[in-house]
A and B are shown apart, each in its own frame.
Chain A
């Protein structure tokens, strides 16, 4: 439970909901990291040709628009925005 009262599963669900809304037809995977941490993986053609920083900025822009507070967002320990070409 975080200071905002959300459980870890609720935080994962909030991330899933926000990212699903932003990337409705793409792969959105919110998984467990080491110990209590959370990993975020998105595979989308929207990332085609984008620089790594721009991909991260797009992803974090979505995460920062959720109602998660900073303590809750700190559980995210890995963000992986990939274009399909990167995983072929």
Chain B
């Protein structure tokens, strides 16, 4: 069984964010209108991985377990998929609220849930493109403002 502690380090999380974003973009581009939901599902993970990588960098930790110790919380909390939970704990939160991508985060990116994988309904390409556009802009902002 894969441990949740696999790939919990800063290097893997940084790379996974880039990879999941590419996965999502290619699925959307070549999905022939059928895979918007899958693309958005992967796009949300790109943001989750990025937020966790930023947290590790900002708090000078190598792994999520170290971050849990630094934040003095049960290590289960740092494995959460809650984007708001994670982003809110970062020093960049107030700047994110003041940034041009705040409404992208509020209206689109923060709606992401891991449970989307259970949703059998088609997400139209138009809606998926809007979501992925917001993901792109938030990721770019995180890249340059953390």
Contact A52 B131 (CB under 8 A): yes
- Docked complex: A52-81 residues within 8 A CB-CB of B: 52-53, 56, 60, 74, 76-80
* B127 at the binding interface (Cβ < 8 Å): yes
Instruction: Please classify how large the interface on chain B is, using the bins under 10, 10 to 19, 20 to 34, 35 or more.
Output: 20 to 34
Asked if residues A74 and B97 are in contact (CB atoms below 8 Å), the reply is: yes
Chain A: CB-nearest residue to B102: A74
- Over the window 35-75 of chain B, the binary record of Cβ atoms lying under 8 Å from chain A Cβ atoms (1 yes, 0 no) is 00000000000000000000000000000000000000000
Closest residue of B by beta carbon distance from A57? B107
B residues in contact with A79, CB < 8 Å: 106-107
Which residue of chain B has the shortest Cβ distance to A50 in the bound complex?
B127
- Which of A52, A56, A80 gathers most chain B CB within 10 Å? A52
Q: Contacting A74 at CB < 8 Å: which of B98, B127, B131? A: B98
A: number of interface residues (CB 8 Å): 16
Contact mask B122-135 → A, CB, 8 Å, 1/0?
00101100110000
Query: Are A34 and B127 neighbours in the complex by a CB distance under 8 Å?
Result: no
Pick the contact of B106 from A35, A52, A78, A86 — CB < 8 Å?
A78
Neighbouring A residues of B105 by C-beta, 8 Å: 77
- Cβ of B130 and Cβ of A51 under 8 Å apart? yes
**Which residue of the partner chain B has the closest CB to A78?**
B110
A37 touches B84 (CB 8 A): yes
Evaluate contact between A53 and B130: CB separation under 8 angstroms. Answer: yes
- Across the two chains, which residue of chain A brings its CB closest to B85? A34
Q: Would you call A60 and B107 a contact (CB within 8 A)?
A: yes
The chain A residue with its CB closest to the CB of B109 is A78
Closest to B103 in A: A60
Of the A-B pairs whose beta carbons lie under 8 Å apart in the complex, a sample of 8, sorted by A's number, is A34-B82, A35-B88, A51-B126, A52-B127, A52-B131, A60-B107, A78-B84, A79-B106
Starting from the known contacts A34-B84, A60-B107, 15 additional A-B residue pairs (CB-CB under 8 Å) come to: A37-B84, A51-B124, A51-B126, A51-B127, A51-B130, A52-B130, A53-B127, A56-B108, A74-B97, A74-B102, A77-B106, A77-B110, A78-B106, A78-B110, A79-B107
